[in-house]
Structure 1
């Protein structure tokens, strides 16, 4: 389509003066001209794209498109909105940008080349820099003589003068990047590139919109002169933003004698191009240090500039944060920016201290002020530690997916506890993330103690096909193992010098009463004991019984307000942690929260029957620190995992586990529980590390046929798995369709990164004050939060209070505020006790 502009455009000087791009920051102040803002963003984009491997003509084409991102601000409707607060009813400025670029395609085609549909894909990516792609109807009228429908309405609202002036700006900008050319790029290639361009433009726009770095300029300089000036400002702004990592350093990050896996990571050949490595080793074997050693080598080889450590929970991310912060000075020549990426990062004391230290001393790693002012910027930091959810948001149809892709693309994605992302829903999303990350040139390291082979094969295939390579067959079933597709890897042996506890015996506990008797006896003998329960209700019931017997016992689960959970965790770490006394003589009743985030060491462990991978993780907390407490100092003869479980040889129906585990029988799929019990009790022990692979494969695979009375449950479980995988596919971006057709503008919560029973989050209050203190702010509100099943809470007459006015809407709109009376009874069926947590009466909440 050709657009012949009939009216005469004003001179460039008149155009710069006529069209404001930003409001003045104070009454009577200067408003930044649209043309100047567009050039500010282009100058930032030049800096951001400099390390990329694009050919120079393509690089210049992408910078030119970044410069044109706000072409739609040359509009009478936008100017009226800025100056007179009139709504842009026909279309917002970024939607008008796409309309203008298509309208004036004849001006860009000789410069950009390529086919028209390829240009259209990139126009949409340029325009869609506010978190979502443009979706206005941009079809011609019925006679194919010009814009029709929504397109015509936007052009008409912009005005004839704006149409002509936009054309003049395009002409002027093409002269600034004269070598810009997409060459023979196809529309398919452009669709893939559109995601990258959208992320680049969004990042550059956020930096270029900062008035501290790009103060408003009075109209005067023409585009070439202004661009020369603002390039200097862009260089300074990039440094202050903290999103271009310093050079990698070769300083040895650890001064201890390396274990076998760590040595393998130091020696393995690094393949060319995007690289995937899988580190499989037992809990406590030093996988994190091995991953850091390998990541440093990859940084030095130029495979990435930064790192993102993705963990399964906020608690595990918090635990990893300190370990990563301690070694950054060895990984980089100067201090990189560092972020903690999850919803409660502001509550992490170490992160807050680093933020203050960075503010006082830029030579310290930490977040910059710019990175701190938006949660969505966390993945742009040079080094990030956070939940895997923050990374998975790059592949679901949530706002700003390209921004997250852009932030991750320059990083080595280090996924710890990868087995915990192996359910059908998260597994599909993780596969999509690895595929996309490799397609954008990124590399990844996956770490796990209990990764099923089938999941490993799927993740390898996803990454390798994303990198444009044929997916290899991974035949190695050894354990421990380092796997790097495309190269031979060193054999990894178990280093028993640090973990010499021997095999963990396995015994079946037949009833809850037997478990209580065992815990009462061994605690009385001075042992550090734990009972890991599958459900909170069962954990609360167990501690009531133990305390009634006079047994000293602590409680930890996920239904405490965060301020109380932190208090409980501190007490538990003192009693059961690495530096505990030899004979504390106490019991911890806990749920799954103790599987990975806390460094605890127990003499005696009872666990409800759970999937094999979870039981192995739990057993990793049994006789953990043998260097501090060798066998001779333990009050029991050997490490034994006592599993509360029905007899897998006596299955009479689908209620097989209910009478033993209570509500905990419904937390996991029944066929998986049966297979785990069958395999584990027949083995009679957990041999670490050599026996772990066989246990996981036998229990988590489907080769073992379940009893006939469980066949219906097996079919239902398979159906749920398929439905979750399908759901994940529906929630993913359509990478091959390109940004305009394949993305969405939905809020994060509309496309979850993990499935599960819907939760409702309450902010607890004491009168008008937060449960955690006296003053309301984001931190005190988050410390007062507690979550529980929405289905159970919705059946109660929950008395909601009015939230404080000084809290942000993202917080108040997603929580309910609830007052806890002095007697702790919130409403019939619901209590909150700081020592017991949130207690839901089963008599009120039965379905």
Structure 2
């Protein structure tokens, strides 16, 4: 009777099976066959080695088996009753459920049912309790959430009585037999690290999603057509048609004994700091944390790439993830990674992972060369469809991201891409799959989200495992974001993933915290001994953190900087308490009125808009405004134009350096913004961020004739700071709201000392300034002491509160270090992080914000683009005309993170009626402007100005 079950119990209905019911056995064997290919053709050597190590070389068999058993819980009345027609067929075969109500069935999910089946049956065939305990959570969590053991209470008849237990066991035995594995022999598998378990959980979901694509795995209702051979043939064809593959091949990496890896890859002799970093990577016994601290322009990126090759060869990794602080900094890094990979493995797939990647011309050109047949592109460019929270709102949920048809969303117009690796196969661009591509570049949020207790978080870990992780500009994370970074480091260390951290201005306390977090993960204990952690005795420096013999170990080395230090004059702009933008504009006019290039950095969008308005009246086209409240296309255009005009000298095809140009920007100009200006005017900010801004000043070597005579010595003018005698410094309320009093007061003291003295020597003074700015030594004159003490007390309280707040959302946290399995991973509060917008707000500790597309209401009815092109009565022209679609998608903008705006946008904004035919637009809210480019939302007046960007009424800073 149990063998009869194999021929009638169904796994997918005709609707989900592409028109034909798919027997459960067929789906289990399909997934097992895909699992074999994931092992053979996708996994990095290190993942295979780690699973082999706990299973006496049977890692492949164990992985394929668990893939094949993932849906065994569907062999229960609770699932089989879901389709009336198919249920009748099952009951007619003798498998009944006389007293089970539909309500009972809905309460018993097949993922948990599968865990119960395995926990009950595997010990009967010789599995150890230890092996059962770590395997059942992988099956219970294959729909994205891993429950605790208390959620596995067997609800009796809904799970199955009578003949059902024998039928369930028959499925387990049949999958094992068809795979040719020794089921009892696998039962002695030892427990992998929890990081490896989470990786396996994600890989099982990957195999399930591939095997659930009815385009390649159509339903089989005839049991005579179900076999392991047929499943393997289907899996092979699907794999090849989808274009899936793993990362680079190990022989392609540079030889570890290569004398100068930097020269070998990049054609230029390694600088001292680069050589030191590579040598330290060579000396590490295996995976670990490598911290590179060096001034701007020192070549940290090339050093990181070379060190990544060394570490990848050492541990068996086959790709990289490069995390950047912002979308704007991700784009140029994407080009650099592609150029490097062209020499490593020109065929390795690469992905650009951030929400506005579609506006990157290089990425758009790569995507245009891959096919989108067979996988629906109903997603954003980093594969997080449902996480925008619109699937439920607009009825567009999609469990596997493959249930629709449609063309890809609009992208930037592009020519043929530069030579280098191609875009990852379109499957990797599906919902929640972005990090599974072997090489990825994107915002650090991708990593921070992997540290949150969210649905399908294991897919992110499956993508990060077997890679080398490179994180740039880590000083940009505040204490709240840092908690997610530390949590991610704990999991990466537990998975044996090497991590390379880059920073120009790293506070000593943060260096120590990074080391502690990585070692906590590697040793799976909360308290680690950092007594031997070296303190850099020079700058640039590299610190290595790893374990040896189960104990913490460290190494450190400093090197001479590539360029000698340069004296930078520091001056404080004389302002009154009103901090009138006209005062800043006047200082700029004095500095570059007769010529020169200036960068003005303001701490808020509103102040930047006001300063720009004053300068535009005098300088006209010689002033450019750059901030986050321009539409995506306009911001990308402005950024590219500024970098082209003020970038490094001698670039092929670059624009000539202008006689005069003023760039007014917010913090978007603070990081990885490769421009070279003659003078810097910047609002007061924490000292490490001030130094980042100073990194744009005289950034590149030029002939002296390229700079005006009065600007040939670098000078920074600090605005937004008023000092009178020994009175406590004053600064605009917007600066206080962004940074708080504690760090601003300490920065003010350092600026005041520099302005009274010889200024700063850059980069020589950078480590000391950062250490002092974030230290606790008294600063400033005696009259500041009370204000500084009060600010510090408030700051410490706020830091403690934010650490506690972050802990509520961490994937596991320090308190769960050392647990043996993943059981209960998703218990406690997962529902709070269902949307990508919510997760983004959580990891950045900000209010939730919404992206919208700006369109105009046509006077005669219907809609227009911002520039006035007709969209039709319902916006339908955007779906049928690629040029119009490009303009519409380019008009996306993120609203300020104001609770009233976010709530109103969620409640009232929807896609235009005619956007249903486009997979991206149909999930995108439209903000409809009047003929003055204005609208009211959440009690705020909004106006989009082509020169100023989005202008928001009361409450906008």
TM-score for the superposition, normalised by structure 1:
0.87
Q: Is the 8 A contact 1:575 1:584 kept in 2?
A: no
Q: In structure 2, which of residues 730, 738, 745 is the aligned counterpart of residue 657 of structure 1?
A: 730
SS at 2:145's partner residue?
coil
Partner Cα separation in structure 2 for residue 257 and residue 440 of structure 1 = 34
Q: Is the 8 A contact 2:487 2:811 kept in 1?
A: no
Q: Is the 8 A contact 2:349 2:438 kept in 1?
A: yes
> How far off is 1:103 after superposition?
4.3
Distance 1:590 1:101, change over 3 A: closer
Q: Is the 8 A contact 1:798 1:826 kept in 2?
A: no
Q: Is the 8 A contact 1:435 1:467 kept in 2?
A: yes
Q: Is the 8 A contact 1:801 1:816 kept in 2?
A: yes
> Which residue number in structure 2 is paired with residue 125 of structure 1?
138
Distance 1:74 1:822, change over 3 A: same
SS at 1:166's partner residue?
helix
Q: Does residue 822 of structure 2 align to residue 739 of structure 1?
A: yes
Q: Does residue 208 of structure 2 align to residue 205 of structure 1?
A: yes
Q: Cα deviation per residue 1:265-323 (whole Å; 9 max; x = unaligned)?
A: 34333322322211111112211111111111222224411100011111111121111
Which range moves more in the overlay, 537-546 or 412-421? 537-546
Q: What is the 5 A alignment of 1:306-317?
A: 306-317=319-330
Q: Is the 8 A contact 1:527 1:635 kept in 2?
A: no
Aligned residues: 811
> Which residue number in structure 2 is paired with residue 541 of structure 1?
610
> Which residue number in structure 2 is paired with residue 3 of structure 1?
none
> How far off is 1:342 after superposition?
1.5
SS at 1:739's partner residue?
coil
> Which residue number in structure 1 is paired with residue 846 of structure 2?
756
> Which residue number in structure 1 is paired with residue 427 of structure 2?
371
Q: In structure 1, which of residues 165, 168, 181 is the aligned counterpart of residue 167 of structure 2?
A: 165
> Which residue number in structure 1 is paired with residue 353 of structure 2?
341
> Which residue number in structure 2 is paired with residue 454 of structure 1?
509
Distance 1:197 1:809, change over 3 A: farther
SS at 2:629's partner residue?
coil
Q: In structure 2, which of residues 276, 283, 289 is the aligned counterpart of residue 264 of structure 1?
A: 276
Partner Cα separation in structure 2 for residue 413 and residue 699 of structure 1 = 29
Q: Is the 8 A contact 1:394 1:405 kept in 2?
A: yes
User: Gapped runs of 5+ residues in structure 1?
Assistant: 1-8, 141-146
Q: In structure 1, which of residues 807, 818, 823 is the aligned counterpart of residue 927 of structure 2?
A: 818
> Which residue number in structure 2 is paired with residue 495 of structure 1?
562
Partner Cα separation in structure 1 for residue 193 and residue 132 of structure 2 = 8
Which range moves more in the overlay, 614-623 or 102-111? 102-111
Q: Is the 8 A contact 1:409 1:437 kept in 2?
A: yes
Q: In structure 2, which of residues 646, 649, 660 is the aligned counterpart of residue 585 of structure 1?
A: 660
> How far off is 1:480 after superposition?
0.4
Distance 1:630 1:128, change over 3 A: farther
Distance 1:112 1:206, change over 3 A: farther
Backbone CA RMSD of aligned residues: 3.5
Q: Does residue 500 of structure 2 align to residue 445 of structure 1?
A: yes
> Which residue number in structure 2 is paired with residue 6 of structure 1?
none
SS at 2:851's partner residue?
strand
Q: Is the 8 A contact 1:312 1:417 kept in 2?
A: yes
Q: Does residue 941 of structure 2 align to residue 829 of structure 1?
A: yes
Partner Cα separation in structure 1 for residue 736 and residue 112 of structure 2 = 55
> Which residue number in structure 1 is paired with residue 897 of structure 2?
789
> Which residue number in structure 2 is paired with residue 716 of structure 1?
794
Partner Cα separation in structure 1 for residue 696 and residue 216 of structure 2 = 50
Q: What is the 5 A alignment of 1:490-529?
A: 490-496=557-563, 502-511=566-575, 512=580, 513-529=582-598
Partner Cα separation in structure 2 for residue 162 and residue 455 of structure 1 = 56
Which range moves more in the overlay, 407-416 or 172-181? 172-181
Partner Cα separation in structure 1 for residue 573 and residue 344 of structure 2 = 49
Partner Cα separation in structure 1 for residue 921 and residue 823 of structure 2 = 32
SS at 1:396's partner residue?
coil
Q: Is the 8 A contact 1:207 1:241 kept in 2?
A: no
> Which residue number in structure 2 is paired with residue 475 of structure 1?
534
> Which residue number in structure 1 is paired with residue 387 of structure 2?
none
Q: Does residue 616 of structure 2 align to residue 624 of structure 1?
A: no
Which range moves more in the overlay, 512-521 or 472-481? 512-521
Q: Is the 8 A contact 1:824 1:832 kept in 2?
A: yes
User: Gapped runs of 5+ residues in structure 2?
Assistant: 88-100, 255-263, 373-415, 546-552, 649-653, 858-862, 872-876, 880-884
Q: Is the 8 A contact 1:274 1:303 kept in 2?
A: no
> Which residue number in structure 2 is paired with residue 435 of structure 1?
490
> How far off is 1:162 after superposition?
4.1
> How far off is 1:813 after superposition?
10
Q: Is the 8 A contact 1:776 1:807 kept in 2?
A: no
Partner Cα separation in structure 2 for residue 797 and residue 114 of structure 1 = 54
